Chains A and B, each alone.
Chain A
Amino acid sequence: MKMYTATIPGSALKVRSRESYYARQKQLFVVVVILVAIIPLLFISWTASHFYQKSWLNKTTVELTSLADSRREIIDLFLDSQENILAGYAELYDLDWLSTPGNLEKLFKAMNRQGVIVDLGLIARDGSHCNYVGPFAEDLKDKNYAEARWFAEVMQSGRYISDVFTGYRGVPHFIVAVTDPSRSWALRSTINSELFNALLASAEVGPGGDAFILNHQGELQTPSRLGLTALPSVEKGLLATGGDLTIHHSQGALYATTGMKNNAWTLVLKTDIKTSLADFYRARQRDHLIIACAALLILGVATFLVRSMMNKVEDADQQRMVLYDRIRNSEKMALVGRMAANVAHEINNPLQIIGDQAGWLDELLDEEDPANLKNSEEYRTAFAKIKAQVKRASTITHRLLGFSRSTEGLKAPANINTLVEETVSFLEKEAANHRIAIRRNLDPALPAITTDSAQLQQVFLNILNNALDAIGNDGAVTISTSRGNGQLAVEFADNGPGLSEEGLKKVFEPFFTTKKAGSGTGIGLAISYSIVERLGGDIEVRNGRQGGCIFRVNLPITAQ
């Protein structure tokens, strides 16, 4: 439903552009508030996360380093002790004693109370087996080691610990071998792989971690916990054998490598970063969740606050605009008032003279001899017409003065319902002549207000008159009074044809009329508008849902 209280050309356009302006401002403020609140939050979160990840990683590195160091020491000690025991026997006994059946068994039993070795063999300088104690007696009985690499090495250097090899027995194993001081024979033991591997297996590298030993060729000397049979090329390249304890960081894993067995082997401990930082990741996930909740909260609060703030600004702006429109309208009406008063004055004087001259001629006509006057009656009619038109014109000029009429000092308590009844009584007869019913729907509890009754009655008369004119014949006008929002309202609803869009906009402009030429001046509603405005109220006009036109006069309950 369209309603007009005042008209400003292009105001609809302005409202639209203002709406998009407020929408833009809202978005901007929300974005700014969010950025200002959330960016530091994200920054702190990122920094903290980064810091904690680094410290967790450092802690893991330190643990891995110490683990690698201790394991290397344990294994080196183990191998040294095996070598030393064997070397001690080789010094203590000679070939004959050791070759004597039963003696090597005694030695094996003495050495192997903990099951550290699998077998013990005595090999002569020519590589032939002189004696053997162990489970592979049948397989190794006639074997000659003259061509075996380990044999050549031990005969050359006196002591030797081999890499893992398959050998004659067809099972991966490694051996510890020593010679007698004159290097004429060698004593060789095979290390119990299970026991040796257990030395590594106990290293705690966590789930997804691994612990193994590599030789110079990068071949696994102990089984991989992860079931690897050969090392992936990346790791092989990374884990250059030997050297001091080193930490590598690659592909989500942390490696500690250290040379052992005089750098012939490399101990590798690997821990999976993801698994070892699992606790940290869980904590970080929880933090992220909290931050996301906080961000959502900030987003919600920021949006809510900005919306409510901008809505207030918008309301204030709108109130300001309404006030501005009213002031502009008041100024316009004041100007119209001054102009109307001046025009009225300027016209009233010539009207007075026209009327007087006609009257004077009329009087002079009395002195003429009717016999000599051919058109005596015509003259009289013409003078009467001039007088009538002067009267008509003066009615208009006197009404124009309504624009500039002051309301100062003319206010008194008035009952609006009574005023409506009085107004209706003036026009009821005329309405009945045109078969128009005037219905009242008056609120009996309406309070008396301090206002200018005479001028307000003029307003009601104007509106009611217009309603009767709009209906023509057969119809009804309903006048209702009500109160609310510190205001009192009088509504005049007719069932006439209503007003066009153009009419709704211009109905309060001076000299706008829908009546046929000569029957309306178009100033009644303009004057009504200025009167109501001076009384601190306003007039609205709209078309009714069921047709017809509705004028609503709002008046302040408290005196202005």
Chain B
Amino acid sequence: MSEFPILVVDDEEEFVSTLVQRLRKRGFAGEGVLSGSAAIARVAASDFAVILLDMRLPDMDGGQVLREIKKIRPGSRVVILTGHASASEGEEGIKNGAFDYLLKPVEFETLLEKLEAARERVP
């Protein structure tokens, strides 16, 4: 598996740790953070191919984090992943530069399909 770093941003520690483990098992360079500020810091420090972003974070609004990420790395692909998501929230995210959105709970296979789609779009 080539380098395909993925950043998982979610305040649910259980979710982040399991997902990162499963991604690594599939060969992705998975990494997780639990807050918006940590996500922005990580994106600034390192270029991730895909960022899985929860819209509800303890310190910042997901939309705000999305805008900051797109400012720092306009080429990054952000997939919104939220439990609150109504379609409109996801669509709002796409308008703000998100690659796509997924509604929790999402099956791992669906998530992988979305990541593959993002990888194919790598410029």
Tell me if A359 and B104 are in contact (CB < 8 A): no
Tell me if B108 and A345 are in contact (CB < 8 A): no
From B16-24, B30-38, B66-74, give the one contacting chain A. B16-24
Instruction: Judge whether B59 is part of the interface by a CB distance below 8 angstroms.
Output: no
Instruction: Judge whether A405 is part of the interface by a CB distance below 8 angstroms.
Output: yes
Complex alpha-carbon distance, A344 and B86, angstroms: 10
State which of A341, A346, A348, A355 has its C-beta within 8 Å of the C-beta of B107: A355
Tell me if B56 and A387 are in contact (CB < 8 A): no
Complex alpha-carbon distance, A356 and B110, angstroms: 12
- Tell me whether A356 and B86 are in contact in the complex, defined as CB-CB below 8 angstroms, given that A363-B25, A394-B105 are known contacts: no
Tell me if B108 and A349 are in contact (CB < 8 A): no
Instruction: Judge whether B2 is part of the interface by a CB distance below 8 angstroms.
Output: no
Instruction: Judge whether B113 is part of the interface by a CB distance below 8 angstroms.
Output: no
- Tell me whether A349 and B18 are in contact in the complex, defined as CB-CB below 8 angstroms, given that A363-B25, A401-B86, A404-B86 are known contacts: no
Inter-chain contacts of A351 with B (CB < 8 A): 104-105
Tell me if A356 and B15 are in contact (CB < 8 A): yes
Tell me if A353 and B83 are in contact (CB < 8 A): no
Tell me if B25 and A352 are in contact (CB < 8 A): no
Inter-chain contacts of B83 with A (CB < 8 A): 344-349, 352
A338 to chain B, nearest CB (A): 11
Inter-chain contacts of A363 with B (CB < 8 A): 22, 25
- Tell me whether A349 and B107 are in contact in the complex, defined as CB-CB below 8 angstroms, given that A360-B22, A406-B88 are known contacts: no
Complex alpha-carbon distance, A27 and B88, angstroms: 57
Question: Which residue among A346, A349, A351 has the maximum number of chain B CB atoms within 10 Å of its CB?
Answer: A349
Size category, A interface: 20 to 34
State which of B15, B21, B86, B107 has its C-beta within 8 Å of the C-beta of A405: B86
- Tell me whether A405 and B105 are in contact in the complex, defined as CB-CB below 8 angstroms, given that A356-B18, A360-B18 are known contacts: no
Tell me if A352 and B84 are in contact (CB < 8 A): no
Instruction: Judge whether A398 is part of the interface by a CB distance below 8 angstroms.
Output: yes
Inter-chain contacts of B120 with A (CB < 8 A): none
Tell me if B88 and A352 are in contact (CB < 8 A): no
Inter-chain contacts of B21 with A (CB < 8 A): 360
Complex alpha-carbon distance, A281 and B85, angstroms: 93
Inter-chain contacts of A398 with B (CB < 8 A): 103
Question: Which residue among B85, B86, B105 has the maximum number of chain A CB atoms within 10 Å of its CB?
Answer: B105
- Tell me whether A405 and B19 are in contact in the complex, defined as CB-CB below 8 angstroms, given that A348-B104, A351-B104 are known contacts: no
Tell me if B84 and A356 are in contact (CB < 8 A): no
Tell me if A344 and B14 are in contact (CB < 8 A): no
State which of B18, B87, B103 has its C-beta within 8 Å of the C-beta of A353: B18
Closest 4 CB pairs of A and B: A348-B83, A345-B84, A351-B105, A352-B105
Q: Jot down 17 A-B pairs with beta carbons below 8 A, ordered by A.
A: A341-B84, A344-B83, A344-B84, A345-B84, A347-B83, A348-B104, A349-B104, A351-B104, A352-B15, A352-B105, A352-B106, A353-B14, A356-B108, A359-B107, A387-B107, A391-B107, A405-B87
* Known A348-B105, A353-B14, A394-B104; 7 more pairs at CB < 8 Å: A349-B83, A351-B104, A352-B15, A356-B19, A359-B107, A401-B85, A405-B88
- Which A residues lie at the B interface, using CB under 8 A? 341, 344-349, 351-357, 359-360, 363, 387, 390-391, 393-394, 398, 401, 404-406
